[in-house]
């Protein structure tokens, strides 16, 4: 039997206690982080502007980095587009800060699903054509791909003690993607069941 933990974490991290309990039962934990505060921007001056706001920026395209003692997550989506996740106060500051020429806001209304557990790689192999285990996770790769027919952005961490990943997609596909992962996940083994979320 698995469970779905709803709610929002300032940095969308797993609860160590719940994750530890889960691993012993060979389950996949699905967590809805869609309400996590986030900010998006793009443009030729976007990286410089974010740095001026005290936000760290990944050096390479399609990678991520953390700042603020792990309380800020930044994804570099290509060369000049960024998504920042942090607490509501920090994100509000970014929205209110004057933007210079060459920095354009990007509305972020993503669904964000967190997955974790020993069966995670099996679930990813069933739903996506990317072999995430082959990636060098030291560079915090950000993978833009398709999962169950939906365009997604994935931040994998399959080499962690508890393999986990975050998946973002367009909000209009949130219900479909959640239910598809739930259905396929429940077929991976007799101990893997899924309960409903707010989708």
Which DSSP string corresponds to 48-117? HHHHHTT----SSTTEEEEETTTTEEEEE-SSSEEEEE--HHHHHHHHHSPPPTT-EEE----EEEEEES
Digit-coded pLDDT (tens) for 185-194: 877 754 443 4
| Structure-token pair, residue 102 | 């060459």
More confident: 91 or 67: 91
Digit-coded pLDDT (tens) for 103-145: 999 999 999 999 988 889 999 999 999 999 888 877 899 999 9
Task: Look at residue 189 in the predicted model and tell me its pLDDT.
Answer: 59
Number of Cβ within 10 Å of residue 70's Cβ equals 10
More confident: 38 or 28: 38
Task: Look at residue 24 in the predicted model and tell me its pLDDT.
Answer: 47
Digit-coded pLDDT (tens) for 32-60: 899 999 999 999 999 999 999 999 999 99
What average pLDDT score do residues 19-31 get? 62
* pLDDT for 5 beyond 90: no
User: Hey, what domains does the chain have and what are their CATH numbers?
Assistant: 4-34+110-186 (3.30.1360.120), 38-106 (3.30.70)
Task: Look at residue 161 in the predicted model and tell me its pLDDT.
Answer: 87
CA distances from 88 to 37, 71, 187, 190 (A): 5, 11, 37, 40
pTM of the model: 0.82
Which of 17, 14, 50 has its CA nearest to residue 166? 14
Distance, CA of 65 to chain centre? 12
Residue percentage of the chain with pLDDT more than 90: 58
Task: Look at residue 26 in the predicted model and tell me its pLDDT.
Answer: 62
* pLDDT for 159 beyond 90: no
Worst-scoring range by mean pLDDT, 64-78, 79-93, 153-167, 177-191?
177-191
**164-169 and 72-76 strand pairing:** unpaired
């Amino acid at each position: 039997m698995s469970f779905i933990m709803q709610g929002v974490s300032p940095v969308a991290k797993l609860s160590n206690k719940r994750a530890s309990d889960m691993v012993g039962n060979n389950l996949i934990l699905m967590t809805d982080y869609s309400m996590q505060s986030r900010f998006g921007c793009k443009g030729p001056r976007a990286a410089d502007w974010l740095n001026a706001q005290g936000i760290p920026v990944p050096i390479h395209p399609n990678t991520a980095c953390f700042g603020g003692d792990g309380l800020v997550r930044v994804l570099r989506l290509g060369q000049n587009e960024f998504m920042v996740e942090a607490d509501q106060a920090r994100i509000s500051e970014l929205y209110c800060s004057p933007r210079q020429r060459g920095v354009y806001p990007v509305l972020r209304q993503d669904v964000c699903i967190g997955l974790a557990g020993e069966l995670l790689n099996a679930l990813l192999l069933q739903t996506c054509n990317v072999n995430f285990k082959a990636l060098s996770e030291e560079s915090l790769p950000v993978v833009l791909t398709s999962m169950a027919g939906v365009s997604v952005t994935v931040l994998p961490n399959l080499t962690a003690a508890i393999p986990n990943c975050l998946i973002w997609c367009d909000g209009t596909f949130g219900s479909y993607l959640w239910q598809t992962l739930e259905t396929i996940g429940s077929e991976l083994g007799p101990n893997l069941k899924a309960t409903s979320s707010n989708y």
